[in-house]
Homo-oligomer: A and B are copies of this chain.
């Protein structure tokens, strides 16, 4: 077919963006081509907020047709954490038809080369960016994130992570030239001379197993890393969060077709309730790469059983903040309060255990006892969430009933320093909106250990009393080693404690945020600069995004002949 989008057009449009991304992953300075302000959208073909909302509304109650081969049924039962049923159905695949069809376009996609794959991937991202407001509503009404967060994390920040993956994928492929002339001197004889051609080749089909809480942010890195390295991508969304990835798949298919490639290079696999299609797909011989975000139990299952595939997992961990001392007590409390509250603590990066010496801490506001620190933090959270409108904007809604159950149960684990409060969302009265609970635990008591050494996903934090900073460092080490951690935070004015925490994080391979008291939070990472996870502790076997995340998604085949 004649491509509507030529390689020349795409290079002219997107190569500067790729080059800036390549430069930024090298400097790790701040950069983003994706605006963070809702009002930045609405011109140049992008949807404004009302247009995005209207597009989202128009999808409800419809059949989301993707024109995929091997569709044997229409399935879907998404219910917004804010209340409404979405009423959208998606194609359910006949796997034996769909998987072979996805392979059909591989050769042309391979032959296009790394730069063309990057350019097409960037065009997909650009179209996604133009529909950020539509995706924001889709993310909001599947994850339960508040609108502003769904807009930013589900929109520009997710797109940044996708672009980062494209940049890593491109540079990894481009480090080997397409061709080489090789001349080896042979003394007085003629040199040996060979002509060599190097081709990056895909591993095979790539399976993206999406998550409920951050369908785009956690999905785009694997999707674009695989696609840009030549692998067709089958997107298996979480059954509660299909729409954001279905929209993504539709856009990808449109762009692929317009650029003259087979749209089946990106397909969706929605599932019937309780079908567990991920387990079936994960061990299919055609599937050579799997990206997964979710529970440790299924992540471990994938790592153990999907032996035919490269498996990249982000699982659960127990995130710790060590509180030793601070020269900005108020800033520390405000920063922590926001970290605990954002999206009701439903981030894989939200702190869970706050390790506080039982003898108290030194601060710029004087010595504070353990009880005072916990009470002041509770007050800070209370203050932050005191206004219901503001609270709704920060907390969003609980994503599913399990989170609510865990939250309710947490109050029984120890002395409640801050009870969870129910908040009404006037716009969505059915939304379950809850403030975080803070529970006091004694780190020295064995029965408390079971609580603070398990991940309690949701708005639950434990103020764990420890004997000393050294004790806290040891507990931090043990927690990361045994349970994993996506994030570690620490507050200390002591060089000695700071050095001990840093050394522990280096040895146990955990990403550390030190003394955050301003507008950056331990649970947030910025694409192109911060690594999300380390890939070196039990919480995740890969980091977003580094060379290792892309380098094994393709292989290089060499064809050489005498020159």
Contact = CB atoms under 8 A, between A and B. Distances in A.
A286 to B, nearest CB: 13
Given A536-B203, A551-B546, A551-B547, A557 B510 contact: yes
A559 B515 CA distance: 11
Contacts of A148: none
Interface string A501-516: 0110111011111111
Nearest to A514: B561
A28 B172 contact: no
Interface stretch (A190-198, A356-364, A386-394, A428-436): A190-198
Contacts of A25: 175
Contacts of A515: 561-562
A26 B506 contact: no
A110 interface: yes
Given A180-B29, A519-B186, A561 B513 contact: yes
A560 interface: yes
Given A548-B552, A559-B514, A560-B512, A28 B198 contact: yes
A30 interface: yes
Interface string A481-510: 000000000000000000000110111011
The A interface is mostly helix, strand or loop, or mixed, namely mixed
Contacts of A30: 182-185
Interface stretch (A265-273, A401-409, A526-534): A526-534
Contacts of A199: 506
Interface string A20-38: 0000011111100000000
B558 A530 contact: yes
Contact of A192 (B186, B503, B518): B518
A286 B507 CA distance: 13
A484 to B, nearest CB: 13
Interface string A530-545: 1100111000000100
A46 B348 CA distance: 57
A375 interface: no
A503 B184 CA distance: 28
Interface residues of A, number: 67
Contact of A555 (B192, B512, B535): B535
A320 to B, nearest CB: 15
A551 to B, nearest CB: 4
Given A509-B201, A560-B513, A562-B516, A555 B529 contact: no
A73 interface: no
A145 B535 CA distance: 42
Nearest to A303: B307
A547 B552 CA distance: 8
A444 interface: no
A328 to B, nearest CB: 9
A176 interface: yes
Given A192-B520, A518-B192, A520-B562, A505 B28 contact: no
A506 B110 contact: yes
Contact of A28 (B177, B185, B507): B177
A67 interface: no
A297 interface: no
A366 B194 CA distance: 27
Nearest to A181: B29
A517 interface: yes
Contacts of A112: none
8 contacts: A29-B181, A172-B547, A192-B518, A502-B559, A512-B558, A513-B561, A551-B551, A552-B552
Report the 6 A-B pairs with minimum CB-CB distance, sorted nearest first.
A536-B555, A548-B551, A28-B180, A547-B551, A514-B561, A548-B552
Given A201-B506, A546-B551, A551-B551, 17 more contacts: A28-B176, A29-B180, A29-B182, A175-B547, A182-B526, A186-B519, A192-B519, A194-B520, A201-B507, A505-B557, A509-B555, A511-B557, A512-B559, A512-B560, A513-B561, A514-B561, A515-B562
